[in-house]
Amino acid sequence: MTRLKIVMIAASLGGFLGFPVLGDEYCNVDNNQEVGSMSMIEDNKKIIGRFMAALGSEDMETLDELMSDDLKWIIPQSPEFSPIAGFHTKAKLLELYDDHHGDFPEGKQFTITGITAEGNRVAVEAESRGASLYGPFHNRYHFLFELDDGKIIVAKEYADSLYMSEFAKRKKAAGD
């Protein structure tokens, strides 16, 4: 059986919110192909497209389905600038994502500005905008995913850490 790997580079805090639906072309996957084949690369992009769409629609069931039980989600930023920096398990990521949705009563719009894949890795560039309880929100992200057997096993999430620090300060000032 072919083993797929993908690494996700994402951005801080906002990476737990939603992304736009990318269409059916990113939602149908066949894992029975050789590593590095063009169809495997396209399937990797489809898996990540489904994952991003699930973030945008708050579809916790699909998020859970697409992440390996031993997921390693890494936000390689200084805790000084991002309150969620560090290493997270699948359970912790789902908890953080679920908790953060209340900050955006009308939701948040994510725009994927680029997707690149090679082998078992998919990189995504994205922007988010939304009206939060603490004022307007607009951040930029880069995610790097690594997949194995059609599941995300490693994700790295990068965002504008200064912006996230300022957002965290606004949230704290509001008493949350």
Whether 2 is in a domain gets the answer no
pLDDT tens digits for 19-49? Answer: 333 333 434 444 444 556 788 899 999 999 8
Whether 1 is in a domain gets the answer no
Whether 65 is in a domain gets the answer yes
Residue of higher predicted confidence among 164 and 12 = 164
What is the pTM assigned to this prediction?
0.74
Cα-trace Rg, the chain: 16
Q: What confidence score (pLDDT) does residue 34 get?
A: 54
Residues 89 and 69: their CA atoms lie apart, in Å, by 8
Q: How many distinct structural domains can be found in the chain? A: 1
101, with CB counted inside 10 A (0-12, 13-18, 19+), is middle
Whether 30 is in a domain gets the answer yes
Whether 164 is in a domain gets the answer yes
**CATH label of the domain that carries residue 72:** 3.10.450.50
Q: Which domain holds residue 40?
A: 7-173
Which two structure tokens, joined as six digits, stand for 123?
């990189």
Whether 83 is in a domain gets the answer yes
Whether 84 is in a domain gets the answer yes
Residues 38 and 44: their CA atoms lie apart, in Å, by 10
135, with CB counted inside 10 A (0-12, 13-18, 19+), is exposed
pLDDT tens digits for 53-108? Answer: 787 767 789 999 999 999 999 999 888 777 788 999 999 999 888 777 778 887 77
